[in-house]
Structure formats: C-alpha cells, structure tokens
Structure 1
C-alpha cells in the first residue's frame, strides 16, 4: 500500500538552505507527499505597499518545505521526484522589481553608475477555476489575463561534503533553478549526495516567463503533491527532468554560456548512454534535434536546460522507466481523490 504523508510547516519550520538541516520527516521510497509551500517572500508581501526591502529580512528569503529523509537513499543513487499536482493556495500572488537584482539592472557584480531600478510590487488575482492570473500595470490602466501555469522554482537535495547552500543558489544539487519546465506531470531526478537525500521544495510560481527576467515570477504559496522514489546505483551528475514527451538536462553556473555547456554536455552524454551511441554521434543528434529552454538569468548561478523529444530517441528508456511507473501511481492517487 502506498504511504501518503501530509505536511504543512509552521513558519519556524521553513528552511533556507539545502544541507545543514535535520529532516522534518522520514519517508519510504514510493511515498506520496502532500505539501504546503510558502512563496519566496514567506507570505510577507501581500499588497503593493509591502515592499520586500521593508517587510522581508535577508537571508530569510525563498523558504523551502523539508527536508525529507528518504529511507535507503545513499550517495550514488538517484532520487526521482514526480510532481503530481501544483495548485495555488491563495487567490492572489505577487511579483516585484528590486533595485539591484534582475537581468536588466546593475548589480553588485555588474556595477554601473546608472540609478537603480525602482522597487515595485505587482499583485496578481489568481483564478484557479478559470486557469488565469490577471496582470495589472502599476503605472497605467492596462491589464490582461495570462494562463495559469503553476511550477516550482526551487527543488533539490542536500549537497555533499557537509556543504550547506542557500536556497536561492542553483547548482548540481538542484536549488533555485527557476525553470517553467518544473510543472505537474514532470519527474525530476537528483543525484543523492548524503544518506537520505534530504529533499526540499519551495518557491512556487503561478507562471513565469523564460529567464525570470525581472528576478521574480508570479510568486505564490502552493499545495503540491509529489511522489518520492529511488533508483538504486544510478548516478545523476546534474538535475534532469522527464516528461511524457521529452528528456531534459539542467546546467547551473556563471557565466551563462557555461550553464548552457553543462546542460548540453549532460544531455549528449546521457543520450549516448541510453542509445549506445558514440559520443560524437550523440553530439550530432542533439545538435540537430535539441532545444535550449532558459531557466533563470538572475540568481547567483544562471540556469539553462537542454531538451530533446523522446520521439527522436527510439526505444530508449530513462532510469528503467520510473517516470511511467510514477505517472501511473499519480493517476491512481488523483482518481481516488
């Protein structure tokens, strides 16, 4: 029988690092987790007058729910995380600009003499039944409904070697990758670095454009259901994603071209192994059939993805077909609700 664990953290239980935290629960592989996650502001930004610089305190930003200790997970294994559903927990969400954060402003590493951007907050009306979020200009009368496309910006496991990383930093353990590809129906794969893997999740977005250009998505608290499973003895050098239609590799680094190279390198070598191809043959295939979705271009590391449709990979089966098995488990769970 499948274990189902419901967990809603109190504010004091939220984590702000991957690694360096005791687990909040121990679960068996195959467990379904019903989770509540807070938005990147910890729920403190509720109106357009709640400027993050006034109501939030660094480094208490981008909280995650967890971590969860997965029984039997050991370094060298892969944690498979299937996203069953992601549903906004409130009928509103927020976004913002920051004086020194985002892709189109001077930052501490790209110092300019130009004045910083204004700090503004946008509040979005969220209509789950209609499947929309409403954008309203702050300095004008324009508004438009955008499609609701819930995702999680931050997910991952503890790094190795006793390391603790802030949740805003994406790297090979996962973290703040901010890719719209991390939506319901996706299975994410993370290499296990410590016993128990220590999985955590947060930073829900009602939607986000590629790149998260201003530095924030449509930030929202979420009710999210995931299934955790293990692939024993399978290494995963950088996070990977699988959908019914595609395989994706994630690279996070600075500069952006190194994040691009990381993601492309992993997809080429992964495809070569799955198909039994010479590395240069796989390189040629991905060069002609691949895509490169952008994750974030604002965080301490940038994130790029490399994507290839499964129809170009023939009968190749990733991770012994775990995605298909978890999809079936998810369908049973949803049917029984």
Structure 2
C-alpha cells in the first residue's frame, strides 16, 4: 500500500527526544507500521534478571520519524490504530531508588531502599488477559489486557535533547493509560519534521504507575499520521471518541495538575467560545483528573472532559474522526 510506511528497527538504540537523525520519512495522511521494545530493551526475560544487572539503559524508543511538511507552530496528530503485544509475556519490577514509595535523590529518607524484585506476567491475546502471580505466595489473578504506549514525543524546542524517561511539553514518558488504541495524540511541533518517536509499551498499567513500571512489553504499533498546519499545541493532548484530555508534567504533582487543568480550560474556551471563568466553572464540575505517573523525573497528570458536555464542538478540524477513518482502511 502506497499509504503505508513500514519500519522495523534492528535493535533498541534511541534513548532521547532530539539530537538524532530520522530513520524514515512519513507524509501526512500516511500510516506507519513499526514495533517497539520494552523499557528494559528486552533484557529482562525471567524473574532472575534483575534490571540493575542486565540493563545498561532504560526506555528505548523507535524513531525518530520525519513528518514531511511539519514546521514549528504546527500540531502533529498521531492516531493509534493498533497497539498489540509482540510477546506472550511482560515484566515488571520494584527498584531500590525508583518509584513512588521508595527513597530517591529528590525524596531522601532514612529507611532502607526497597528490594529489587521482578515479576513475570503471562499475556493471553486470545482471551485478553494479563496474569498477575505473587512472588511470595500462591495468589494469582487474571487482569484485563489493556495495551498502551508509555512514551510518545517529538523533538523539544531550541535544540534541546531530553532523555526518553522524562515527560514534558514535548511529550515523552507520559505513562497515561489513555494512550491506547483508538485514541489520537496531539503534540506541538518544535523543529522541522517534528521528529517523533514512540515506545515503552505496557500490557496494562494502573493510574500513577506507582511502583515505577507497568507490565512492560514489546509492541507492534500501527499509527495514522497527520498535521494540523498553523495551530500550536502547548501541552500534549489526547482525543478519544468520547473525551478530550490535557496532560501536564511537573514536580510537585500539584503543578502538573494545574498545568493540565489550565490547558483543558483554555482548550474548552477555544472550542466553545466560552468566557474563561465560565469554562473554569464547567471543567470544575464536569471534568475528571488522574495521575499518569508519580515516579519519573517529572510527574504527569491529566485533565479530561466528556465531549458531549461541549455540545458538539470538534477539536483540530475533526482530525480524530478523520484519522480513525483512515486507519479503518487497513482492516
């Protein structure tokens, strides 16, 4: 198909946003099919593979991809048509100095750090489950399979290079479970070509990613790509069939909350023509908020509102619906 770009990475090699040459060119209106490694680079394969021993780096992403015609001040629209586990297993872990409930350099405490421990999850694609099994008892439970990408972003502005583990206005390690198949992610373009990359697949993840990692899994990804010319997007935004979501990243967590809420309110103003305080009141009563992660160098929060509350307002020229239709041509 001329409208499809296939790119298969030979090995995980990119750990940044910015500072890398593109691996492929994608035109607006085309569909990209690629694959991603897990956050461990595939090195953690059993419960005996402690990440501190087998991993040199963390959170590889596939890319960057150059989007033809993308310029600073545009918005990149990425509609995720499919995110499918590439293996029948996923891995998770606790780390001595990473996660929401352990000592870190930024939250120094006197108690010992947590033990490093690994869990293996069995993934059943046919049934749609992820099997949790406790390490120190015979407790086990089947959880719903809910594949997502933890990390999607573009090159930052000003020639900056950011580690792929960091979330910020350019996207990056957002770790929001809403970034699943069927959603459209909007990112502000900072450099020519946008230079987007993606990775960090999770077979599922709870809100907050409290221990620091989801059920980490390699993924096969199909994404429809488009540009919204001349429209800037200050923070990452997600559109689903029923919701608009703004994402903020900062420390402390309340600042990430404020960023996401402010961005959603200003977005609602743009879409409805409401006065700022009227939109503030509407989002206060009809909105929802949840953490993406509370473990990375910056924390993420998202603010969401149901689109039916906005009385038919459409975002970005109805890009979500158009890209969903484009993705459906594959099936």
TM norm structure 2: 0.99
How far, CA to CA, are the matches of 1:14 and 1:321 in structure 2?
35
Match of 1:41 in 2: 40
Which of structure 1's runs of 4+ aligned residues deviate more than 6 A? none
How big is the shift at 1:10? 1.3
2:164 aligned to which of 154, 164, 167: 167
Check the 8 A contact 1:2/1:32 in 2, yes or no: no
Match of 2:253 in 1: 256
2:324 aligned to which of 327, 331, 334: 327
Q: How does 1:113-262 map to 2 (within 5 A)?
A: 113-262=110-259
SS at match of 2:329: helix
Check the 8 A contact 1:87/1:222 in 2, yes or no: yes
Check the 8 A contact 2:182/2:240 in 1, yes or no: yes
RMSD over aligned CA atoms reads 0.8
SS at match of 1:114: coil
How big is the shift at 1:14? 2.6
How far, CA to CA, are the matches of 1:317 and 1:109 in structure 2?
41
Match of 1:26 in 2: 25
How far, CA to CA, are the matches of 1:304 and 1:162 in structure 2?
26
Residue 8 (1) aligns with residue 8 (2): yes
How far, CA to CA, are the matches of 1:95 and 1:243 in structure 2?
28
Match of 2:53 in 1: 54
How big is the shift at 1:191? 0.1
Structure 2 unaligned spans of 5+: none
| CA offsets 1:75-115 (integer angstroms, 9 cap, x no match) | 00000000000100001110000001101111111111101
SS at match of 1:293: strand
How big is the shift at 1:121? 0.3
How big is the shift at 1:2? 5.5
Match of 1:268 in 2: 265
How big is the shift at 1:30? 1.1
Check the 8 A contact 2:26/2:32 in 1, yes or no: no
SS at match of 2:258: helix
| CA offsets 1:291-317 (integer angstroms, 9 cap, x no match) | 002100000000000000001001211
Structure 1 unaligned spans of 5+: none
TM norm structure 1: 0.97
Check the 8 A contact 1:40/1:203 in 2, yes or no: yes
Residue 280 (1) aligns with residue 277 (2): yes
How far, CA to CA, are the matches of 1:6 and 1:45 in structure 2?
27
Match of 2:16 in 1: 17
How far, CA to CA, are the matches of 1:136 and 1:288 in structure 2?
40
Match of 1:92 in 2: 89
Check the 8 A contact 2:82/2:223 in 1, yes or no: yes
SS at match of 1:292: strand
